[in-house]
């Protein structure tokens, strides 16, 4: 039986690779079909993604535009047909800022999640596959990353490099991979002992081929799970950094809107439409990531279904 597997592996390696990734893709589709939490999170995120893409068509004004009528700034206006959520103390349309605020949130969430999945998965794969000295070295590096406080590190790095969306993503990517790497490494230690990995080694497959074409597809759903969790943390962190005044001043984000409303004492003046909608949007997009993570628990750990 082992010889037959080796022959199949060497005779048609591309077919084997296709089957692995096709199986992983089917697993992802099944993942969203079987759990309403995950599906709800996906719908929320895709809805906000559509809003971010078509923001210029949805918003009535530019988010930075100071609106004037007959030479007078439209300051602190309430809800009207032209200003659905009113205006700020600088005469900017709140609804337009809310719509454009989806862009930094989606950009930061997607970019940070991709970096976390890429870095964490690669480190976990290499550590779990090679074991020994390589495993020890990478896990000690992970321990160092765990020892660094997350938000203070992001604030210091962004303050040093300058306020920018990409600097925030970079700062988060340098630390958020640590959870993913440790969990992926544990899973790889199990997968590497399976028969198909041993068959690939006997067939003469290279280490890189075994790692990325045989082992990686089997831990892909777990990587995506931690990517979805990282997406929520990244968006929440960007909002917190922007609220503290370290965000990109050239980019209107929901955190920036909260910062602007706080500085302008919107709560004291009763301008609830200035800070409640961006707060709700932050809550929804963070929930989408955690819903996907929550829904995946019962799929990745079937024993949780047993009561």
Q: What is the DSSP letter of 164?
A: -
Give a yes or no: residue 245 inside a domain.
Answer: yes
User: What is the C-alpha to C-alpha distance for residues 31 and 25, in angstroms, rounded to an integer?
Assistant: 10
What is the predicted pLDDT for the residue at 213? Answer: 87
Q: How many other β-carbons are positioned within 10 Å of the β-carbon of residue 201?
A: 15
Say which CATH number the domain at 162 has: 1.10.3720.10
Give a yes or no: residue 90 inside a domain.
Answer: no
Give a yes or no: residue 68 inside a domain.
Answer: no
Q: Report the number of distinct structural domains present in the chain.
A: 1
Nearest to 44 by CA among 283, 224, 215: 283
Q: How many other β-carbons are positioned within 10 Å of the β-carbon of residue 178?
A: 22
Give a yes or no: residue 279 inside a domain.
Answer: yes
Q: In tens digits, what is the pLDDT along the chain, a chain of 307 residues?
A: 433 443 444 444 444 444 555 665 666 676 667 777 778 888 898 999 999 999 999 998 999 999 888 878 888 888 888 889 999 988 999 999 999 999 999 999 889 889 988 999 999 999 999 998 999 999 999 999 999 998 899 999 998 988 888 888 998 889 889 989 999 999 999 989 888 888 888 888 898 999 988 898 888 878 877 888 888 888 888 899 988 888 888 889 999 999 999 998 888 888 899 999 999 999 998 888 888 777 666 555 554 455 4
List the alpha helices (DSSP H) in 131-164.
132-147, 150-161
Question: Look-up: residue for tokens 């074991």?
Answer: 131
What is the predicted pLDDT for the residue at 142? Answer: 94
What is the predicted pLDDT for the residue at 6? Answer: 37
Q: Which domain holds residue 214?
A: 111-301
User: What is the C-alpha to C-alpha distance for residues 151 and 172, in angstroms, rounded to an integer?
Assistant: 9
Give a yes or no: residue 59 inside a domain.
Answer: no
CA 231 to chain centre: 2
Handedness of CA 98, 103, 106, 108 (dihedral sign): negative
| Burial status of residue 26 (CB atoms within 10 A of its CB: 0-12, 13-18, 19 or more) | exposed
Give this prediction's pTM.
Answer: 0.80
What is the predicted pLDDT for the residue at 182? Answer: 92
Give a yes or no: residue 173 inside a domain.
Answer: yes
**E strands, the chain, where?**
68-69, 72-73
What is the predicted pLDDT for the residue at 21? Answer: 58
Give a yes or no: residue 65 inside a domain.
Answer: no
Q: What is the DSSP letter of 72?
A: E
Give a yes or no: residue 287 inside a domain.
Answer: yes
What is the predicted pLDDT for the residue at 55? Answer: 94
């Amino acid at each position: 039986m082992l010889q037959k597997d080796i022959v199949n592996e060497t005779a048609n390696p591309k077919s084997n690779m296709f089957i692995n990734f096709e199986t992983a893709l089917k697993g992802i589709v099944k993942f969203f079909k079987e759990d309403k939490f995950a599906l709800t999170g996906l719908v929320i995120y895709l809805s906000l993604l559509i809003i971010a893409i078509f923001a210029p068509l949805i918003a009535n004004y530019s988010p930075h535009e100071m609106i004037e009528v007959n030479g007078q700034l439209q300051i602190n206006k309430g809800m009207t047909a032209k200003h659905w959520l009113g205006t700020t103390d600088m005469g900017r349309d709140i609804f337009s800022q809310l719509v454009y605020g989806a862009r930094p949130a989606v950009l930061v969430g997607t970019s940070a999640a991709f970096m976390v999945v890429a870095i964490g998965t690669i480190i976990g794969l290499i550590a779990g596959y090679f074991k020994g000295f390589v495993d020890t070295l990478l896990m000690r590096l992970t321990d160092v990353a765990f020892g660094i406080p997350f938000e203070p590190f992001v604030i210091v790095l962004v303050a040093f490099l300058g306020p920018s969306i990409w600097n925030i993503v970079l700062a988060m990517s340098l630390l958020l991979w640590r959870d993913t790497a440790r969990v992926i490494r544990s899973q790889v230690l199990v997968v590497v002992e399976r028969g198909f990995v041993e068959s690939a080694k006997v067939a003469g497959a290279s280490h890189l081929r075994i790692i990325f074409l045989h082992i990686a597809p089997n831990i892909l759903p777990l990587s995506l799970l931690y990517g979805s969790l990282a997406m929520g943390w990244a968006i929440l962190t960007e909002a917190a950094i922007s609220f503290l005044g370290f965000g990109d001043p050239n980019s209107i984000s929901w955190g920036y809107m909260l910062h602007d409303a706080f500085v302008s004492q919107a709560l004291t003046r009763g301008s609830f439409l200035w800070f409640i909608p961006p707060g709700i949007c932050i809550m929804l997009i963070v929930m989408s990531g955690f819903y996907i993570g929550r829904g995946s628990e019962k799929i990745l750990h079937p024993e949780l279904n047993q009561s």
